Every structure is written in C-alpha cells, then in structure tokens.
Structure 1
Amino acid sequence: MKTPEHALEATGFLDEESVARTMTNATCEDLERWWAEVSRRGTPVVDPGSDRVTFLWRGKHVRDDAEGAESVHLAMNRVTDKALYDHGLMRHVPGTDIWVRTLELEPSLRVSYAFTPMSPDQQRRSGPPRFNAYDSLLDPFNTGQPLVDRGRHGLSIHSGPAAPSQREWDDHRSRRLRGRIVRDVRALPHAEASGRARDHWLYLPSVMQNEHQAAHLPLLTIFDAENWFGNLWLPYALEAAADSGRIPPVAVLGIANNDTPDRIARLGANTGFLRDVAEHATAWAEDCARTVGIGLRGREGRIIAGQSLGGLSALVAALELPHAFGHALAHSPSLWWTPDGASKPHDLGTREGMDWITERYQASTPEDVSVEIAIGEREGLTVPRGRILHRTMLDAGWSSALTMYTGGHDFAWWRGAVVDGLARALRTEPHEERTSDSYFDPSMRSSIAPAQY
C-alpha cells in the first residue's frame, strides 16, 4: 500500500477525502514525512485532470492543544468571503495537525488568499478590512512571492494554470531598482480643508539622456499609494516591463490615503481633490523630475489610474479634467457610490435605473480621453453594471474599452491590469476586447457575491 506522501508524488494531487482517509490519526513519523513532501511540492496543489485545487494549513486543533484553533478559515477574495464565507472553512483531519480544503476554481483565476485560525472565543470579523492591515497568515508552503509580505502575515497568490501572464511581477522584489523613489508628506491646498497632509510618492526611472535634451516620460498618477508603493513594489514591476519592451519607461506619482474615512472622503468623486492632484501634486512631480534632468509629457502622455473608489475617481477625472489626463484606467470602479454619501456596496442589488457615474456619462459631451474599464468576473453585480457603463460611454461617443479578468475585487489581478493598461494606453500593445457574454458566471458554482468595497 502506498503511503500518503508517495500518493502525492505519483498523482500530483490530494483532495479532502483522500487526505482524511489516509492521514487520520497518523503517527508523528508519517506526519513529518507527509508535510516534508508537501513542502517539497509546494501549495496549493492543483489537480491536472480537473478544476480542483487543494489548500493545506498546518496547526493543532484545540482538542489536542489548548493553544490550537477550533477552526481555520481559508480567506480567498470573492471566493470564500462575504456571503461565501462558509466555503472557506477548512476540514481538520482528526488526530493530526492537518487542515485541508478543496475547491473548484477556474483555471484562469488569479486570486489572493490567506489563512485565519480561529480560537473558540474568537469572533468572525465582519465588514470591510481594516485600513492597510493584513491580519491573516501567509501560506508557508506557497513557493511564489506573496502579494503582500508582512512577515508571517500578508496575502499569498494562487494563479491557475491558464491565468494570464504577469511576468513583470515574477520575482520583481529580487530586482535591484535602478530608478529613484521620492517620498514627501504634503498637504494639497484646496482639498485638504483640515490641513492634514498625506504621503506623495514619486518614482522616476533611470533613463539615458544627453546634456542638451532631457528625456520626456509618460506620467502615471495612481491612488492608494500606501499599497502600490508600500506593499506591492509597483516601480520594480514597471522597470521589468520596460526592460522587456512591453512599456516605455514611465514615471509614477502615487497619492496615499491616511485612513479609511480619509479614503472615502477623497476618492468619493471629490472633484476638488482630483483638481488638486492634477495641478499641485503633478507640479511637485514635475519639479522633482526636473531636478534630475527629466521632463514629463503633457496630457497625451498622462494616465490616471485607480481601483475600487480609486477607479470611480479615475472615471470622474476623465469626465471633469480632460485637459489634465489623456488616459484613464478604472479597475473595479465603485459603481454603487452616490453623492449623498448614503449608498453602500450592497445597494447595487436594489437600485433601479442607471448608476450615478453612468448617468453622468450618458449626459456628457465626449472628450479626447481614452478610458479602459477592467472588472473581475467574480465581482457580482459590478459585472453587468460595468457593461452598462461601458455601452453608455460608447453610445455617448467616448473612447471606452472593457476588459474582464478572472478574479475578484483584488490587487492580485489589478497589478497585472495596470501594466496591461499602460501598454495599451501608450500604444505598445493593441487592446484585445474581452467582453463577450461567455464570461464566468459565479452562480454556476456558488451564489453571486454582493457588490464590493
């Protein structure tokens, strides 16, 4: 009879049932050999013959150790969160330190995940995640670079065998950055009524230039800089993309948030804030670039990008500040938002008629700004609402493109979409529109998740 570790080596896959069947009450020696094989192979374990994927966590159960967990939750963006929370509850194998969960996942899915061991007196946390906090634990057997690395905490990534390439992000943290990063704490003059300053980040590539003419670079302005610079290391990936020829060297202006209320107030279609970013923050970036002999291109080479509320802000900037930006990348825009501040993400499920930003575009005069909307196929009602927005923009005469990614409301695919969008905006790659009605329908496997934060 084959031992469990030999079965894993032979088939390349173990599911919940086989793990429970072969490992219940395993000896300490068998457990150590089994975990050694898991560590050698890496996780998650993908079944080459189906869409099944198995995730494993090592930890004692409270029955066996007072410091152990009563349950472990596999927290996976829009796969096991919100209404789908119970899908992430892992199965404990009796008499062992093995927790296992097998899920059916699309081969093209790229998704972030982490583990949350729960003690008997610990309550499940509800609502949106805490600002810039990563409380769950990384997968110690995942051999890829984490999405967010905070020691034991952070977010791991599962990329299905058919997930689009993100080669710029492969081992990007091991690169030596040739460009420079400037960070300053600055208050924007009009939008910051309280006088509260915020982090401004600026990445300037290392470019060849002669003594008579400064290089003129495109400028990407992106929100949520505490993530893009502080957690995700965006400049390293952009240098890799430039080295491969996917994009030209691009300067990046990152605007950070101070906390969740600040983010909601500033990125909730706040025209005054956006105007300050376009005028004053951009002027600061130009001054910094000029000191090292770099010029920044005008509006035709300026891209504004954001995700979630930042995606909404990118749409508003294209609509109201077309003189400042030639391109807008709106990823998973918060279509639920309304000016009265009373709307919540779940309101998308009860709203009749068009969303606020869609109505704005329907009534608008088109401007010379290219807009790319990108949405995750697991984002529930944002998918059909986003299609309506895209069609409305086209009917109104705007240059709009819609791209669907297999994923949730998640930096795991947003980071790839930033590079994809830059390549198309800067004309180094054509846009391949993926907007057919054959997109993944989460109801085929589980209920549609509610609208997103």
Structure 2
Amino acid sequence: MTPASFNTWSGECPLWDPATNRVTFIWRAETDPAAVHLFINRITDKKDFDLGLMRHVAGTDLWIRTLVLPPTVCASYGFREYSSTAAARPQPPRHNRYDYRLDPHNPRAPLVCERQNGLSLLAGPLAIDQSAWETDTSAPLRGTLRETELAGRPGWFYAPPERPVASLWLFDAQTWIERLRLPNVLETQGLPMSIAGVAHHDAGHRKRDLAGDDAFTAEFLDQAAQLSGRSPSVPRILAGQSLGALASLNSLVTCPGAAEYVLAYSPSMWAGPEGWTRTSLDWITHRLSLADPCPTHLQLRVGAREPQLVGPTHLLELTLAGNGWDSELQVVDGGHDIAWWRAALIADIQRALCHHRRTRRNDTED
C-alpha cells in the first residue's frame, strides 16, 4: 500500500494472511503521538512490550504493526498513544480498568467496551470457539436480575425465566454480570441457569477475599446455596479465574462437595493467605495434597502464554490425579485473559450438564 492508499483505507482489521500467519494491525491516530503501542495480552505486554510498538506510515495518520501469530491464538488487544517515546513503557495492569482504545476497524463485538476504551478480540481461525458470545444479546432479559449482598460484599442473583438446569456460582461477578452480561448470553444459548455472583470493593479486598480466606469462601457458598435452592437434578457449578480460580480450588478443602463441578481458569498459583511463606510447593497444591478427594469434578484450564502458571498448574494436576481426584487439565492458546476464559466457561458449562445428565441416567439404570 502507498501512503496515498493508506490515507483512504477504511477496511477491517486485523488483516490475517492464512498463507503466512502474518497478522497486520492498523491504527488511525487521534492526536499527533510520538509512539503508539499495540497491546496484545501476553504477546506484546510485560517483557515483550516492545513487540507492540507500531510503525508510523509517513505522510498519513496511520500506524501499523505486523506480527506472525499461530492460528490457535485467542487474546484481547487494544491501542494506546503516547506523547513521548520515553512514556511508552509497560505499566502494571489496573484491576477492572481499561486504558487501551478499542479497534474501531474490528468487525467483531468488543470483549469490553467503555465508550472508546476497552478490549477488542483477536481470535485465529483455530482459536477456542467464541460463537456463544457473538450472538445478539440486545433483547431484554426474560429472567430476573437483582443486586444483593453476599458474604458482606456486593453481589447479584439471577433467576432464569424457567426451571433452571443448573446453579452457577461466580467470583468477580462485576466482570461476568456487569461487563460481559453473562445472563443475557445464557438466555441466547438456551441455558436456563440461576447465577449467584460476588464482587469485591477494590483490588485489595479482592486479594484478601480470594487468596485463602476460608470464612469468606464458606459464607459465599452457603448464601449462594440458599439463594439457588437445592435439587438433585440441578447441579451446582462454581467458577473462577485468576484469584477467583484459587478460591474455587480452595473451596474443595473449605467446603468439600459444596458444588458438583468446579471450573478453575488460570489459577493464581503464586498466591496464598496472609502470613504464608512461599516454598517450592505452592500453597494450594500443598493444601489439596493433604485433603481427601471429594465428589466434585474439577476442570482446570491454563493459558499456554502464562509461563508462570503453566508449570505449577501441571504440578497441581499431577498431585490431584495421583491422590484420586476427579480432575482434568486443558491448555488453551491464550494468556491471562477474559478472551478465552469466557469461551471456556460456556464450553465447560455445557460439558458439565452433559456429564450430569449421563451420570443421573446411569444411576437410574443401576
């Protein structure tokens, strides 16, 4: 493309060449920046920040960056302009805050949208399936969603418009319910499920709540069970990501059997309660290695682009399997990222429901 053609370009992005796996991102500057950074979760952040620095096309307001990426990749991304090259350096992420601009040329709905900021979706042709999240969710909820208090924290409870096929309990509910509109997605997928979700006042409270606070976890699960009701035909599914995954795993010790299924994505294996001193064995692996297996199916997932978590999560799975837990680990081509967590959640809910129906049918036949 010539500078003149760049000036009139108005196509879709990213531009993915299936013959070479070269992926091109284009940003039309809004100011006169000294630098523009393309953030892609765990691909151009942290130590690889410089991989995301874009090149200015002379004579235009366009900046471009081409990367070679595998067709399995699933990641969130965005753009940021800098007034000086010195300012273009990695910054620690802010919890539940989005400092990057959305890609206005991406035809897929954004993962998170706050006016012009948020996270856009990059998903290769062989990436984890996103179709459940790309249906029209603009119709009003048919079920009932209300705010409540759970374990002394803000929370939500959603009741579907028909008899629930499962009860879903979530940590980080402000992400799943407020931002991602999970109840709407479940309705479009024909998955009538009650949802009890707890949020946190701030990042500090979240860390204290989820990194080994047994009392908080037990209180949340007890109140979630009261809201959801109890029926043998309605399985209970507890799900969390990052620190929420750590709390979900800890529930297997704190409240064994509280949920029939636990979904734990990218667990924060490095974390533990206050006063815990890290050793060669992560806190949650140590704790579960000493616990008796409970009748819960555990689905672990971790992103292939999470080098600090892949090894420890594999060691956790080896420990669980060796001690007789009903557990499974899957690795996804992604980072520490809601982009694949949301896809995994729908897939694993559907798998849990199929497993539950098969188990009940076998019990009936016996």
- Give the TM-score of the pair, scaled to structure 1: 0.74
Matched residue, 1:163 = 127
2: CA distance between counterparts of 1:429 and 1:88? Answer: 44
Give the structure with the higher percent strand: 2
1: CA distance between counterparts of 2:233 and 2:92? Answer: 35
Deviation at 1:183, TM superposition (A): 1.3
2: CA distance between counterparts of 1:128 and 1:241? Answer: 36
The partner residue of 2:263 within 326, 329, 333 is 329
Helix, strand or coil at the partner of 2:179:
coil
Deviation at 1:217, TM superposition (A): 3.9
Residue 392 of structure 1 pairs with residue 319 of structure 2: yes
Helix, strand or coil at the partner of 2:189:
helix
Helix, strand or coil at the partner of 1:319:
helix
Matched residue, 2:249 = 315
Identity %: 39
Deviation at 1:87, TM superposition (A): 0.6
CA deviation digits over 1:234-280, x for unaligned, max 9? 112212222xxxxx421111111111001001011211001110112
Over the residues paired in the alignment, what is the CA RMSD in angstroms? 2.2
Alignment check: 8 A CA contact 1:187 1:198 kept? yes
The partner residue of 1:146 within 93, 107, 110 is 110
2: CA distance between counterparts of 1:326 and 1:429? Answer: 9
CA deviation digits over 1:176-207, x for unaligned, max 9? 432221112x263xxxxxxxx43211122111
Aligned length: 357
Residue 132 of structure 1 pairs with residue 93 of structure 2: no
Deviation at 1:374, TM superposition (A): 0.5
Which runs of structure 2 are paired with 1:191-270 in the superposition (5 Å)?
197-207=152-162, 215=163, 217-242=165-190, 248-270=191-213
Paired amino acid for 2:29: G
Helix, strand or coil at the partner of 1:318:
helix
2: CA distance between counterparts of 1:279 and 1:417? Answer: 26
Residue 425 of structure 1 pairs with residue 359 of structure 2: no
The partner residue of 1:80 within 9, 27, 44 is 44
Alignment check: 8 A CA contact 2:150 2:220 kept? no
Matched residue, 1:374 = 301
Deviation at 1:355, TM superposition (A): 1.4
Give 1 or 2 for the bigger CA radius of gyration: 1
* Unpaired segments ≥5 residues, structure 2: 358-366
1: CA distance between counterparts of 2:212 and 2:219? Answer: 13
Alignment check: 8 A CA contact 1:330 1:374 kept? yes
1: CA distance between counterparts of 2:330 and 2:217? Answer: 25
Deviation at 1:359, TM superposition (A): 1.5
Paired amino acid for 1:360: R
Deviation at 1:51, TM superposition (A): 1.3
2: CA distance between counterparts of 1:429 and 1:90? Answer: 49
* Unpaired segments ≥5 residues, structure 1: 5-21, 61-66, 189-196, 208-214, 243-247, 287-294, 344-350, 431-453
Alignment check: 8 A CA contact 1:332 1:409 kept? yes
Helix, strand or coil at the partner of 2:70:
coil
Matched residue, 1:413 = 340
The partner residue of 1:273 within 216, 225, 228 is 216
The partner residue of 1:304 within 221, 231, 238 is 238
2: CA distance between counterparts of 1:412 and 1:131? Answer: 16
Alignment check: 8 A CA contact 2:49 2:90 kept? no
Matched residue, 1:446 = none
Helix, strand or coil at the partner of 1:426:
helix
Matched residue, 1:53 = 23
Helix, strand or coil at the partner of 1:112:
strand
CA deviation digits over 1:80-104, x for unaligned, max 9? 1111111111111122111000111
